[in-house]
Structure 1
């Protein structure tokens, strides 16, 4: 974390998020979807997400080492149950005398961009952080990551720049009955949304099979 402070507040059919985005908490059973999502990022997207050039084998190692008992991973699925947006909320080691913090990292595939998915993933992570006694949500990225900087500024995060990197901080209020209810409602809604999409996909597959066109089923 840097000390220099800047007072800056400043193919498939596209996925349409609308005004609200269902964000689902992921678990170890989603590792294949997470890996597929990250491997679809091009070289520049990988550089912006991980801060450096990131080959396939490094991404595979990253996914394999995800610890769902320690950290949290959230995702947004499209109508075909493709993971088009995901966020990794990593809890930082506790340091005596310092606020408890978690680091937020996010990636969105091209078909899901400019539709509020990053904002929804950040909001979901912030609420979960509050409910797990995290006091500071932290983002580390390259200073030229315009999408991440835009997201940080929208959330009124404090931004520090140094040596081509940027650190953004969001101070969080303690949990409240409202945040606990909000997270529970979000979880139920996202699970229902996923179940509905899964049922619709199965129905479509059965329909194409009935019509004798199984090759069209996804």
Structure 2
């Protein structure tokens, strides 16, 4: 491999492009939204996300096996409460003498790209990792996954290439009161954002139902 593990740390103000995107932590009740999100990925996007050809049945199995008590799943919803971006922060088994690590995987639907969603998901995952005693954030993907490599390099990750694959690492500083408050504030903001979108969606549905009632059309 070409590069060595980065000796640097998480920048103090990383991923500024993603700060305006509310990212919500998902739970088991979101399993159907996660499934529908992944099923909407095209063949190439599935290959880049999972590193191989991924038919529907594999995605169903992946979603069924998600453990929300062990790992962390984050999502970004659009105005219609459609899950347009999600990240899976998978905690890797602890190895004595090595830094505790978590692997980051992300997917964004075409209509949500170039809006800072991937950056926001990575930022949210990095803060959560720090607050749960993770020392190294890790990304494994195909070397030709240009979007993921751009995201990783923008975050200051050290990237290593070998045999068509790429590994990116980011060493994380320990948690502090600021990161704990930051995560709590972001979660509260994301919950408020979701509630507002939910109310807006209900209002729009009621309005269109009203307009569609028999006898009210001009």
- What is the TM-score when the length of structure 1 is the normalising length? 0.90
Mind listing any 5+ residue stretches in structure 1 that lack a counterpart?
10-16
How many positions carry a matched residue from both structures? 204
1:73 is paired with a residue whose SS is strand
- Measure how far apart 1:212 and its partner are: 1.6
Contact kept, 8 Å, 2:92 with 2:101, in 1: the verdict is yes
Which residue of 1 is the match for residue 163 of structure 2?
163
More displaced, 118-127 or 202-211?
202-211
User: Does 2:21 match 1:21?
Assistant: yes
Output the CA distance in 2 between the equivalents of 1:101 and 1:8.
13
In structure 1, what is the Cα distance between the partners aligned to 2:172 and 2:94?
16
Could you tell me how far 1:5 is from its partner in structure 2?
3.3
Task: Give deviations 1:102-124, integer Å, cap 9, x for gaps.
Answer: 00000000001011000000000
Matched residues in 2 for 1:171 and 1:126: separation? 10
Aligned to 1:117: 117
Corresponding residue for residue 185 of structure 1: 185
Q: Summarize the alignment of residues 94-109 of structure 1 with structure 2, pairs less than 5 Å apart.
A: 94-109=94-109
Aligned to 2:11: none
Contact 2:39–2:56, Cα closer than 8 Å, also in 1:
yes
1:36-115 alignment runs, 5 A limit: 36-115=36-115
In angstroms, what is the RMSD of aligned CA positions?
A: 1.8
Tell me the SS of whatever aligns to 1:54. Answer: coil
CA shift at 1:19, angstroms? 6.1
Q: Which runs of 4+ in 1 moved over 4 A?
A: none
Aligned to 2:2: 5
User: Which secondary structure does the structure 2 equivalent of 1:6 belong to?
Assistant: coil
**Retained in 1: the 8 A contact 2:18–2:120?**
no
Alpha-carbon distance in 2 for matches of 1:172, 1:34: 28
Runs (5+) with no aligned partner, structure 2: 7-16
Q: Using the alignment, how far apart are the partners of 1:213 and 1:188 within structure 2? A: 38
2:166 counterpart SS class: strand
